[in-house]
Amino acid sequence: MGDAPTASGSKMPAVALGAVFGLAAGLALLGTGAGPASLFSTPTATATTPTAVPLATFPGRSMAGAGPLYGSPVASSGFGGAGRPSADVQPVLMTTAAQGAQTSPSLHWAALAALSAAAFAIGTFLGRRPTHPATLPVPEQQQPQTLQEIAIAAYTSQHNYDYDLIVIGAGSGGVRASRISAGHGAKVALLEPSMAHGPPNYSAVGGTCVNVGCVPKKLMVYGSEYSHDFEDARAYGWDVPTGITHNWTRLMENKNKEISRLNGIYKNMLVNSGVNLLEGWGSLVDTHTVAVRSSRDSPEPDSTITAEKILIAVGGWPFIPDIPGKEHCISSNEAFYLPECPKRIVVVGGGYIATEFSCIFRGYGAQVTQMYRGSMFLNGFDDDLRTHLCGEMQAQGIEIMFNTNPAKIEKQADGSLLVTTEAGEQVPCDVCMYATGRKPYTRGLGLDKVGVEVNPKSGAIMVDEYSKTSVDGIYCVGDATNRINLTPVALHEGHCFADTEYGGMNRKPDHENVAAAVFSNPPLGTVGITEAEAAASYDRVAVFKSGFRPMVHTLTGSSTRVVMKLIVDVATDKVLGVHMCGPEAAEILQGMAVAVKMGATKHDFDSTIGIHPSAAEEFVTMRSPSYFIVKGEKMDKLP
């Protein structure tokens, strides 16, 4: 399968043919006394016309940003970027004699050398193997160069596998693992059901993040914030007309264009990395075989492919509980493709997705009701921050119903919906969106057929610290493992897998001190542990807390405030957690994450000169603890 040469010698006829012509050219050169330099000498008294002939370029096995060091003529870029020619790829200028001009004998030898190269290329082309019928065009891989690449190729040939690695799922973790593994010399096939975003599959190359997650969500967050900015601008002298309207259709069109652009970038990046990108649904047949189907529910596969190792990277999928009227509800997938912004929407859930969409739709003018079965949303985040965010959202007009669970959803004669809660309350709306969690997208994957162990409650695939499942040769990264369901974590896990299995390294994913953000309004950012977690694990904790009105709102009259917290271990002075709710929280916390990861102390923060005027400087100017927690008990000073 695929068009890469095997280790069995499919290029040998080409090599032999090239060698014959090369030997003939060398003997002729020795007989005439012509040296190698004369082959490239310019004939005297000959009119020439420069003609640009580009160098032949091949994909090599480059790592992102590695450039020529890993043999690639294209300097790869990360997310959202495109490959660009590296500095050492330049056109070669060759000269062609004008019509009727005489040429020197050395040019005949150059022509003979060119024939030798052409024969080599023809032989190579004839020796290529047929491609998989569902394969996107993949440039031919180079022959193994390093000892490790040679060993990988020999092992694959010995066991007669089609590939070294099959990856199921072209999301964040799958794409990263595929590309880096190919960069280490592995022959990789990557399966993805769809190459373009949108219904009915919704996700496509790039996974949830690119198609129905981080990227389109953040674009919609940006757009929703303008409604607040227009109001604030008046305080700064801008004559903003009243009655400004929003064009939802234009937003969706522009958003869709951007996602399509990213789909194309991902496909090109994978192909240029030497990954064999296949369109289809993958399911396990045995520990080395994957069935490929054009439709998920097809009874018979269109084809099968084999590999020494299989990596599952199928991600997660929105979950809507089985209640009466669930067919009238949407998930976050459909929310990205609504034909118009609803006038009234009920958002069910208390996680970051539900909270973010409540703020998004409110920003576009919708009447929003958020229902959550618990007493406070955003479990796992610092209590002070989520309580503060709740107040900010309510001040914007978002109704939040805690300790509330829908019992049924009914469609009305006019097409609207009526949500009835378990307590009997009724809330009319135009759209009911469920954001009550996501589950590993493993239906039809065949895990039970090969014995891959899953968590009976969550459905998550069980893995060890190297992302190995319970079955030898089968691995899993990303949201399907339910470790930390964040895009950067899936990228990290995929990279560690590739480096460990094909790069000769020993890398375990590090899930400690992973920063996170909620793109609500205002946003929330966090890294490290919360106050409650610190109180449960450390004997003495110092809490530094600050709340203030950001400078931008000193003229607008807005009551919006920023909350910041530092959690410090008194015994070591180490900063255990940094938390913020306020404008640009995610941007500020990314820098704080580096400090926490490096083990910064409160003294390090105090020794840092702040940027003034900025909100971020508050983190390095909080000098006195707001309070202490000693053996779980809160007090104003240490005993």
Burial 265-277 (b: 16+ CB within 10 A, else e): bbbebbbbbbbbb
CA–CA dist 53, 59 (Å, integer): 19
CA–CA dist 593, 211 (Å, integer): 27
> 3-class SS at 10?
coil
Instruction: Determine contact, residues 305/163, Cβ cutoff 8 Å.
Output: yes
Catalytic residue among 492, 511, 603, 612: 612
Burial 552-564 (b: 16+ CB within 10 A, else e): ebeebebebbbbb
CA–CA dist 199, 197 (Å, integer): 7
CA distances in angstroms from 159 to 149, 152, 156, 525, listed in the order given:
16, 11, 5, 49
> 3-class SS at 184?
coil
**Which residues on neighbouring strands pair with residue 427, listed in sequence order?**
419
CA–CA dist 123, 138 (Å, integer): 19
Full DSSP string of 57-101? ---TTPPTTTGGGGT-SEE---TT---EE-TT--PEEEEEEPTT-
CA distances in angstroms from 170 to 55, 175, 207, listed in the order given:
31, 5, 6
> For residue 165, which phi and psi values (nearest 5 degrees)?
-145, 135
Instruction: Determine contact, residues 179/270, Cβ cutoff 8 Å.
Output: yes
Task: Dig out the tokens for 552 from the structure.
Answer: 């931008």
Q: List own/partner pairs for 290-294 with CB under 8 A and 24 or more apart.
A: 290/166, 290/168, 290/191, 291/446, 292/134, 292/191, 294/134
Burial 46-64 (b: 16+ CB within 10 A, else e): eeeeeeeeeeeeebbbbbb
CA distances in angstroms from 411 to 349, 401, 405, 430, listed in the order given:
20, 21, 18, 9
- How much helix, strand and coil, in percent to the nearest 5, is found in the chain? 35, 20, 45
Instruction: Determine contact, residues 163/156, Cβ cutoff 8 Å.
Output: yes
CA–CA dist 234, 242 (Å, integer): 11
Cis peptide before 522 (omega within 30 of 0): yes
CA–CA dist 307, 156 (Å, integer): 8
Full DSSP string of 517-533? EE-SSS-EEEEE--HHH
CA 120, 125, 128, 131: dihedral to nearest 10 degrees? 160
Annotated catalytic residue 184:
no
Active site residues: 612
